[in-house]
Amino acid sequence: MVVIVPTNKSVTEFEGLHLYHGAISNCSMRVRITLIEKGLDWESHPLDLLKKENITDEYFGINPNGLVPTLVDNGVVHIESNDIIDYLDETYPEPSLRAENNDEMMEWLHLAAAIHVPACKPYVYATKIAPKIKKTKKEQEKYDTLQKNQELKDFHSKHAGDKSFQTSDFDKAKAILAACFTKLEVTLEGREWIMGDKFTLADISWIPLFFVIDGCGFDFGSYPNIRRWATTFKAKKSYQEGVLKWCPDFSQV
C-alpha cells in the first residue's frame, strides 16, 4: 500500500471512493477495471494527459509524482496502480480477484510495476505520445519546479525541447517487453487466465499493458495464447467500461 499525506488538503474531506485518472493511461485502466469488477461506486476526476492537466500545483499536492491514477478512499490518498488494485481487493473483498497462489499473482503485479519506466513508458512515448505531449518552455519550467522524482525527470528530459528518444532507448524497451510477453505467452499455455481458471488481479494488471503496447504496433503475431486471452477479456463488461469507454482504440490516440 502506498499512502500519501497530501499537501492539497481538499481531498482529505472526500467521502467514498474518488479516482483521478487518465482516459489513455494504462495504469488508470487497471484501477477502473478493478472498481467495475467489484461493483463499487466511485467519483471520476478525469485528467487529460495530452493537455497536461496533471501538471498543476493542485494535482502535485495530491500525487507528488504528478502521475495518474490516484485513488482517494474516504480522504486517504493511495498512489501506484498495482498497489491500488491490491488495496481495493483487500479492502473490498467481494467478489474476490485474488488467486489461491497469492505470491505468484503478486509477482505479475510487481513485474508490471517494474517495467513501467524502463519499458512501457519509453515504448509508448517513442512510438506515439512524445510528439503529442511536447511541453512549451513555460510548461517545462513549471514541470521542473513541481517534479522532484529523479527517475521521472530523467525520463521526461529524453523528449524535452528538440530532443527525441534514441533508437537504443526504444530497442531496450522493446526487448524488455518481448521477454515479458514471452513469459506471459508461456504461462497462458492451456490456461484461460494468467493464474488458471480464475480471472484475477494479474489479468487486470496486464490487460491494459497489452492494450496500449498492441495499440503502439508491437507485433503479437507469434503470441497465440496472448491473442486468445485478449479475445476472452475483450468480452468482459469491465474491459468495455474500464478501457474502451475511455479509450476506444489506442492506435488512434
- Binding segment toward ligand GSH, per CB under 6 A, in 64-72, 173-181, 197-205, 226-234: 64-72
Please select the residue that binds ligand GSH; options are 22, 64, 122, 242, rule is CB under 6 A.
22
Query: Which CB, 1 or 186, lies closer to ligand GSH?
Result: 1
* Residue 32 within binding range of ligand GSH, rule CB under 6 A: no
Size of the site for ligand GSH (CB under 6 A): 15
Across the strands, what pairs with 44? 19
Residue 143: C-alpha distances to residues 31, 75, 137 (Å): 25, 26, 10
Please select the residue that binds ligand GSH; options are 49, 109, 216, 243, rule is CB under 6 A.
49
Q: Which of residues 146-175 bind ligand GSH (CB under 6 A)?
A: none
Please select the residue that binds ligand GSH; options are 37, 62, 81, 105, rule is CB under 6 A.
81
For 70, phi and psi rounded to 5 degrees?
-130, 130
Question: Any long-range contacts for 192-196 (C-beta under 8 Å, 24+ apart)?
Answer: 192/229, 192/232, 193/229, 193/232, 194/105, 194/108, 194/229, 195/99, 195/100, 195/101, 195/104, 195/105, 196/99
Query: Which CB, 38 or 159, lies closer to ligand GSH?
Result: 159
CA–CA distance, 37 with 39 (Å, rounded to integer) = 6
**Which cell is 99 given?**
488467486
* Residue 184 within binding range of ligand GSH, rule CB under 6 A: no
CA–CA distance, 188 with 233 (Å, rounded to integer) = 13
CA–CA distance, 227 with 210 (Å, rounded to integer) = 10
* Residue 127 within binding range of ligand GSH, rule CB under 6 A: no
**Closest residue by Cα to residue 63 from 82, 48, 81:** 81
CA torsion angle for 200, 24, 230, 107 (degrees, to 10)?
Answer: -40
Query: Which CB, 114 or 186, lies closer to ligand GSH?
Result: 114
* Residue 66 within binding range of ligand GSH, rule CB under 6 A: yes
CA torsion angle for 121, 123, 124, 125 (degrees, to 10)?
Answer: 80
* Residue 6 within binding range of ligand GSH, rule CB under 6 A: no
* Residue 23 within binding range of ligand GSH, rule CB under 6 A: no
* Residue 187 within binding range of ligand GSH, rule CB under 6 A: no
Please select the residue that binds ligand GSH; options are 17, 18, 20, 25, rule is CB under 6 A.
25
Query: Which CB, 90 or 100, lies closer to ligand GSH?
Result: 90
* Residue 35 within binding range of ligand GSH, rule CB under 6 A: no
* Residue 200 within binding range of ligand GSH, rule CB under 6 A: no
Tell me which residues touch ligand GSH (CB under 6 A).
22, 25-27, 49, 54, 66-69, 80-82, 113, 116
